[in-house]
Structure 1
Amino acid sequence: MNESLTKRLFGYILLAVISILFLMPFVWMLRSSLMSLSQIFVMPPVWLPSPFKWDNFTRALTELPFDRFFLNTIIIVALGLAGTVVSSTIAAFGFSRIEWKGRNIIFMILLSSMMLPGAVTLIPTFIGWKELGFYDTFYPLIVPAFFGGGMFNIFLLRQFYMTIPRDFDEAAVVDGATYFQIYYRIILPLSRSAVIVISLFTFLGTWNDFFGPLIYLKSAEKYTLALGLQMFQGTYSSQWDLLMAASAAVILPCVLVFLLGQKYFLEGITLTGLKG
């Protein structure tokens, strides 16, 4: 009993130490965002601002049109999230609940696309969007979400759907239900956790995406938060207090979304399927 208690205590201490190490950059960013420039690099480090410089946030978010950057990011995130959820859930339903010739072969071919580095398809994809006249628009950042939203999302949902007993489908077919009714009324409600997981992944990935907007957006008024933050850093590279304040404001929505959805994230990522 004592040995078991000692192992558990050691495990808790180890987890606490690792958590502190991971939280250090975040804590450093927050304390720096509330300090004057002269306080940030004082040695030994000062952890509590004196006084608290709350006006850093106002100054940082008004030096550049961050309101426009926020709006652009929200538009891309909202439409991309909607497209990903709709298209990936339907595609996963087709690969897991409907029998059709060549289903597994096509799924394996699509799954193998995950092994292709993004750099391989970057240039032809960029040329394609530019030839279509969509360069410097939001279309390259939104439209792909309505065509599967990434093979990983389809794979994750397919694996989850396959844990749901087929008895439900058979009973629904006997009652005269169509495939769409089975998808909408049975599969989606039972896979809420998995859908929330891909929603979290999509939100965080799109919100923090820097490379996509950098490639496809040219006009400053169309910049997202990631590009705006980089532009802010380039303009005010020596004003670390304002840079940390802007970074904290950009990260805050991600932290709130993850805290609100962490229960479903842990539940869905295990792919447990139905609860007993």
Structure 2
Amino acid sequence: MSARTGHRRERGVARVRAGLAGRYLTLVLMLVVMLGPIVWQFLTSLRGRRENVYQGVLPARPTLDNYARVAESFPLLHYVGNTLTVAGLAVASNLLCAAMGGYALSRPGWKGRRVVFTVLVATLMFPFESVMISMFLTVREMGLVDTLIGVWLPGAVSVLNIMIMRAAFLAVPDELEEAAVLDGAGEWTRFTRIFLPAVKGALAVVCITSFIGAWDDFLWPLIVLTDSEHYTLQLGLKTLAGATTVNDQRLIAAGAMAALLPMMLLFFALQRYFFRGVGEGAVKL
């Protein structure tokens, strides 16, 4: 091997190492940008009452006293229960409606399928703010203002979740359905015994996105709810942050972490299915 060839190989190895270093540096920067505020909020929630919030990074004497003070400052568990009710209904309705709607749109042989699909995709172009007034008027006419059902109803099914399930069902091999048909399985049996077990990942994606969307929603509950007895957790945190007697960054940080914890637990519990479902449910137009 000549010296020139050796120098070329060394330069190639150096370029590869430089490229890897650049990629890892980019990933580290993204990690800091995305997780930095969450870590800062968590560390702030552990600071003592007399400790300066902006002095140093780590708390001098970590304590969980702020979380107990949050529970005493406003009905945290009651708001969590209201939010869990709305989120549970949203998950159940989205799993049922998105699975059945996605399955129907993925099956050929019925007229109007493309028209329905086109209309559903077209609705994705309209932001929530453009339809929230008409949605509020509809909910008011139904007598559901200031109720948890009124909070849940607009998010009972998401078009995006239907598209995810449709794409997942389209990815199921046709041979599985053909074998089931030959065995005499009906439509409902094929749906429940063949297709649903094959798209567990997409179902996990629908579950996580529905839960996070309902748990983290602030604008729609703010419009619909007036009685604090029906407040969700996000509205409760607003009252906590706006109370003149509780103007403490430590308490606000503790409340924010309490709101974030259930979403993190759900994601970690379903992350194995979630990442598999991202591939299964990639939206195919």
Q: Same fold (TM over 0.5)?
A: yes
User: Identity of counterpart residues, as a percentage?
Assistant: 30
CA 272–214 in structure 1, closer or farther in 2 if over 3 Å, else same:
closer
Task: Spell out the pairing of 1:58-69 with structure 2 (5 A cutoff).
Answer: 58-69=68-79
User: What residue is the counterpart of 1:105 in the other structure?
Assistant: 115
Per-residue Cα deviation, 1:26-65 (whole angstroms, up to 9, x for no partner): 11101111113553444xx312212223211101111101
Q: Secondary structure at the match of 2:280?
A: coil
Task: Spell out the pairing of 1:126-141 with structure 2 (5 A cutoff).
Answer: 126-141=136-151
Is contact 1:57–1:242 with CA below 8 Å preserved after alignment? yes
Task: Decide which moves more: 171-180 or 182-191.
Answer: 171-180
Structure 1: 5+ residue stretches without partners: none
1:18 aligns with 2:30: yes
- TM-superposed deviation, 1:13: 2.2
Per-residue Cα deviation, 1:92-115 (whole angstroms, up to 9, x for no partner): 000002420010111111110111
CA 185–144 in structure 1, closer or farther in 2 if over 3 Å, else same:
farther
User: What residue is the counterpart of 2:10 in the other structure?
Assistant: none
Is contact 2:47–2:63 with CA below 8 Å preserved after alignment? yes
Is contact 2:221–2:235 with CA below 8 Å preserved after alignment? yes
Cα distance in 2 for residues equivalent to 1:141 and 1:89: 22
- TM-superposed deviation, 1:121: 1.6
Greater C-alpha radius of gyration? 2
Is contact 1:194–1:271 with CA below 8 Å preserved after alignment? yes
TM-score by length of 1: 0.91
Q: Which AA in structure 2 matches 1:67?
A: L
Equivalent of 1:161 in 157, 169, 181: 169
Cα distance in 2 for residues equivalent to 1:138 and 1:20: 37
Q: Which AA in structure 2 matches 1:62?
A: E
Aligned residues: 269
User: What residue is the counterpart of 1:244 in the other structure?
Assistant: 253
Q: Secondary structure at the match of 1:115?
A: coil
1:115 aligns with 2:115: no
Per-residue Cα deviation, 1:218-266 (whole angstroms, up to 9, x for no partner): 1101111000001110115621111111111111111222222223222
Cα distance in 2 for residues equivalent to 1:231 and 1:272: 38
Task: Decide which moves more: 154-163 or 29-38.
Answer: 29-38
Is contact 1:31–1:49 with CA below 8 Å preserved after alignment? yes
Cα distance in 1 for residues equivalent to 2:226 and 2:37: 31
Is contact 1:40–1:241 with CA below 8 Å preserved after alignment? no
User: What residue is the counterpart of 1:32 in the other structure?
Assistant: 44
1:186 aligns with 2:194: yes
Structure 2: 5+ residue stretches without partners: 1-12
Cα distance in 2 for residues equivalent to 1:247 and 1:40: 19
Equivalent of 1:196 in 204, 228, 235: 204
User: What residue is the counterpart of 1:173 in the other structure?
Assistant: 181
TM-score by length of 2: 0.89
Task: Decide which moves more: 23-32 or 13-22.
Answer: 13-22
User: What residue is the counterpart of 1:124 in the other structure?
Assistant: 134
Task: Decide which moves more: 127-136 or 88-97.
Answer: 127-136
Moved over 6 A (4+): none
Q: Which AA in structure 1 matches 2:161?
A: N
Is contact 1:200–1:258 with CA below 8 Å preserved after alignment? yes
Cα distance in 1 for residues equivalent to 2:207 and 2:52: 36
Cα distance in 2 for residues equivalent to 1:61 and 1:243: 12
1:49 aligns with 2:59: yes
Equivalent of 1:74 in 84, 91, 110: 84
CA 98–181 in structure 1, closer or farther in 2 if over 3 Å, else same:
farther
CA RMSD of aligned residues (A): 1.8
Cα distance in 2 for residues equivalent to 1:204 and 1:84: 12
Q: Secondary structure at the match of 1:48?
A: coil
Cα distance in 1 for residues equivalent to 2:75 and 2:53: 28
Q: Secondary structure at the match of 1:35?
A: coil
Is contact 1:39–1:46 with CA below 8 Å preserved after alignment? no
- TM-superposed deviation, 1:144: 4.2
